[in-house]
Chain A
């Protein structure tokens, strides 16, 4: 008989999410028969931004996420640059890239060592790493586990590197529409390069090696968590001449296509299973509204369901690397980890080049004339995937603001065609040894580096929760 396992909270992710798994034996194999993901936090940033000075948006939106604030700042300044027709000077573009790149390095290291590694090996035998599920961990990874303190130092150094030009991390107000505020003095360039050299060594000789070790011990995970295998990237890191280090594009049914403005206009957000008013279903972000409604019918998430051409897409390092021909593997749990590690090296090496391009005497800010009215789209990538800010300005104030985060793509609920979101689909079919400790499912979830707080529960199909332990009274 099928059981429903609810993991709530799903820990070691950023933010609030819950995952519900229907576990059943099919063809003699116990596995995930169905899955649903629930975003359990709504703060209404889009509502808060309406009516404010547009220039405040890069500061305020950085607080959407404390792990990838610079990406939100970047999306916001790109949208405002476009609305005002005020692109940054070269130095401004490069300093934005260097600050964002620093955060990529810290975020990827944080994810592998602090959030995901404990799924594959025993962590330190102290709070908060214990208690943990008593599941079979494969041997031979002690050397990887021993690198945790070094990884904590590496993550901290990456943030210090970002503060050299950005002022402070995790959130840096140096990113402003029209450019950047910090200047590339020679001493600062040297300070930045010193941290970068140390980190390049760590990424090459520790991080990538450790991911290979885990991949070797868990090579069966190259066949798990495959999902729809539709990949999308908005592209990130503006280069001289208008290109990007990672170009935008999408892969669907094994076919790669470019992602231009007209394709982007086909992105819609479904709310059939989201706690928002149905009148806002399948709107485009540039016109879509955020009207919360709780409770609502069969809705189960505060996340909306973004779709391109009506289809769900997976975003993240694997999508960026495959779209740009930098990663040739497949789509799976271990491919996501491997692509993330290899991407860290690609970004860090590119940062070396951007440092060389800086002109210590050149301007960082090119001026910015507040538009009385206008609109702009800022498409970029957070470390965990495609991110977009859609901005409209009327009478000098923000009249409309919509954000699509990478986790909206990845952890989205079903749409009105009943198609599961990418993470939901990736979970379906995952073999489960112990329905009460579904570590295999947790490995799938963490491979996406979700940016919200999740949860997994146990219920009968279409039915009530099974009590798999004494129901407590203390926290009802």
Chain B
């Protein structure tokens, strides 16, 4: 498995077309390797609320013409120091390995979203000094210092299946949790080529351009990236049931028209096949709303759903003089709605592929008191409710029973629907419950943490709130910072303070807002955090504990280890190119950002003579001032335009 560094380059050149790597990128890779391989960053791979599917998928990348597979790319050419499924070390030695690797520049790859319910304790990654570390803490600790954050797969990019309603563990994506920009290599699982492509860009010092949702434009963007547009079956006859070869699957629920990915041309398992190639639907697994925005995944008629005819709603909106009726029925059957008293026809509709129908009538002068729906031989009836008397959502009772540690919430809404009950203060879902045939619902939860002082119930756009009776009194929350020091020689930031015991304090860079760490405040009311290699090094820090906050400027102590300076920073408008030159500690890596520190333009390697050069084509936005970070050293310079 030992491979010289050249073979990585050969691998890239041979695979360039397949991977979509441009000639200039391959050239940059060559330059990166010509510099003796220094500055090749470490990759730390965290497994959060994941299924390991993205790791297994990554292992499927092997190029028939290359002598080695992607394991070589990762293992021999970047240093995969921490990967829980593959690494030799276990237990404390694994944790030590992670810690020592995180001292040098690293790329953070995260597989799986991060649970935030139960204070993050539904996903614990390791034990350090006898203390279990949650995924939430680990990501908040390691993300701010990373050269780049790769959200590998849809779960870490957008939440994915574990975040599907009712999101029982409060899954957050990496960017939601940290507030930092992540490169979202989406897919459930993600395609190994997409990971390789992204890492190749970073190794070449080229931070990929991202779409609004954080996915690389080069992989998921562009007008012709819609799966359906590129699908060889786009214009084929449409299948009406499963198991039909070479037919378009749109009518049975294929999500190709709503999905952006290059699967139709790239295919999977080294070109063996792809989902639609096996006559199975595209399920939109690369999209931000997956799975809830694309459920149900299958439509009739592939699976015929014949539900009894029913009217679930019949309402008269007096102000708009509009009758609105909805219900279920046999798929694609016609439903006719009539006035139950006069027999007059009020409208008709075809039952959708999801089994629902809706009829609206705006031409009536007065509402019928009762309506009848007819479809084939089936009949359903319902009284028409009028403005004011229809209950969208009502919370009739909300009580905390301390002796049973139980929260009980009752209310009324549309019959036979799913009601989401939330903590109105935090917005987090407590759970869901179904309303009965009369619309009544009763929700109970034991030991909600925290006990809400006000609850909110939601159902299909209706919502209502109510204060919780007997809720525990809230103690005013406070937080303060007593010391904030940055140790220049060890690159460690230490922040200590006091606050409300048992609450979570979040410490962030006061200028950028980026989270540095979070911690549960001890029973003695004190807290202390230490962050290795904060990047950028904060000028001042901010501690937040719910509504309370405190700020303090960071005192720099000790002597700096790294050096960096910028000798020239110019933007050539004719070439639309940003060029930054400078000096620094030989063999290190420089990260180029805008002066605020939020936008990363890329990284550059400092050569043996202590010089570096960074060129970025089409920088967006064009910075007026840039900053260079090298280890714990920072330099800034205004950008001149020519």
Measured CB to CB, the residues of A under 8 A from B are 5-16, 18, 40-45, 47-48, 51-53, 55-56, 59-60, 63-67, 69, 110, 114-115, 118, 123-124, 126-133, 148-149, 152-153, 155-156, 159-160, 162-174, 176-183, 185, 277, 291-295, 302, 363-365, 367-370, 372, 395-396, 436, 442, 453, 455-457, 459, 464-465, 467-469, 471-476
Q: Which of B48-89 contact A (CB under 8 A)?
A: 49-57, 59-60, 62, 68-69, 71, 75-76, 79-89
- CA of A123 to CA of B242 in the docked complex: distance in angstroms? 46
Whether B245 lies near A185 (C-beta < 8 A) is yes
Whether B446 lies near A277 (C-beta < 8 A) is yes
| Complex: chain A residue closest to B530, CB-CB | A473
Whether A166 lies near B88 (C-beta < 8 A) is no
Whether B278 lies near A11 (C-beta < 8 A) is no
Does residue B2 face the partner (Cβ distance < 8 Å to A)?
A: yes
Which of B298-306, B314-322, B553-561 is the contact stretch?
B298-306
- CA of A9 to CA of B134 in the docked complex: distance in angstroms? 12
Whether B85 lies near A12 (C-beta < 8 A) is yes
Whether B303 lies near A129 (C-beta < 8 A) is no
Whether B297 lies near A476 (C-beta < 8 A) is no
Whether B118 lies near A294 (C-beta < 8 A) is yes
Contact of B59 among A51, A155, A293 (CB under 8 A): A155
Does residue B281 face the partner (Cβ distance < 8 Å to A)?
A: yes
Task: Collect the chain B residues with CB atoms within 8 Å of residue A114's CB.
Answer: 86
26 contacts between A and B (CB under 8 A): A8-B91, A8-B126, A9-B125, A41-B122, A42-B115, A43-B168, A43-B171, A55-B297, A60-B164, A69-B51, A124-B2, A132-B89, A133-B90, A152-B71, A163-B278, A164-B272, A170-B53, A178-B303, A181-B242, A370-B305, A396-B307, A442-B90, A471-B130, A472-B128, A472-B129, A475-B128
- CA of A18 to CA of B160 in the docked complex: distance in angstroms? 25
Whether A168 lies near B273 (C-beta < 8 A) is yes
Task: Collect the chain B residues with CB atoms within 8 Å of residue A128's CB.
Answer: 75, 80-83, 86-88
Whether A149 lies near B122 (C-beta < 8 A) is no
- CA of A12 to CA of B88 in the docked complex: distance in angstroms? 8
Task: Collect the chain A residues with CB atoms within 8 Å of residue B94's CB.
Answer: 9, 11
Contact of A127 among B55, B81, B95 (CB under 8 A): B81
**Count of chain B residues with Cβ under 8 Å from any Cβ of A?**
114
From DSSP, what is the main secondary structure of chain A's interface residues? loop
CB distance from A147 to the nearest CB of B (A): 11
Task: Collect the chain B residues with CB atoms within 8 Å of residue A118's CB.
Answer: 88
Whether A181 lies near B127 (C-beta < 8 A) is no
- CA of A319 to CA of B101 in the docked complex: distance in angstroms? 41
Whether A12 lies near B278 (C-beta < 8 A) is no
- CA of A149 to CA of B67 in the docked complex: distance in angstroms? 10
Does residue B37 face the partner (Cβ distance < 8 Å to A)?
A: no
Whether B85 lies near A11 (C-beta < 8 A) is yes
Whether B280 lies near A173 (C-beta < 8 A) is yes
- CA of A43 to CA of B60 in the docked complex: distance in angstroms? 26
Whether A168 lies near B269 (C-beta < 8 A) is yes
Query: Contacts A11-B84, A44-B169, A372-B307: A127 and B60 contacting too (C-beta < 8 A)?
Result: no
Task: Collect the chain B residues with CB atoms within 8 Å of residue A16's CB.
Answer: 47, 123-125
Whether A455 lies near B53 (C-beta < 8 A) is no
- Encoded as 1 (CB less than 8 Å from any A CB) or 0, chain B from 115 to 150 comes to 100100111111111111100011001000000000
- CA of A128 to CA of B164 in the docked complex: distance in angstroms? 33
CB distance from B422 to the nearest CB of A (A): 15
Whether A12 lies near B90 (C-beta < 8 A) is yes
Query: Contacts A183-B245, A370-B303, A471-B130: A56 and B296 contacting too (C-beta < 8 A)?
Result: yes
Of B97, B171, B268, which is in contact with the most chain A CB atoms at under 10 Å from its CB? B268
Query: Contacts A127-B81, A183-B243: A476 and B128 contacting too (C-beta < 8 A)?
Result: yes
CB distance from B300 to the nearest CB of A (A): 8
- CA of A53 to CA of B303 in the docked complex: distance in angstroms? 11
Task: Collect the chain B residues with CB atoms within 8 Å of residue A174's CB.
Answer: 278-280
- CA of A464 to CA of B93 in the docked complex: distance in angstroms? 20
Does residue B546 face the partner (Cβ distance < 8 Å to A)?
A: no
Whether A365 lies near B1 (C-beta < 8 A) is no
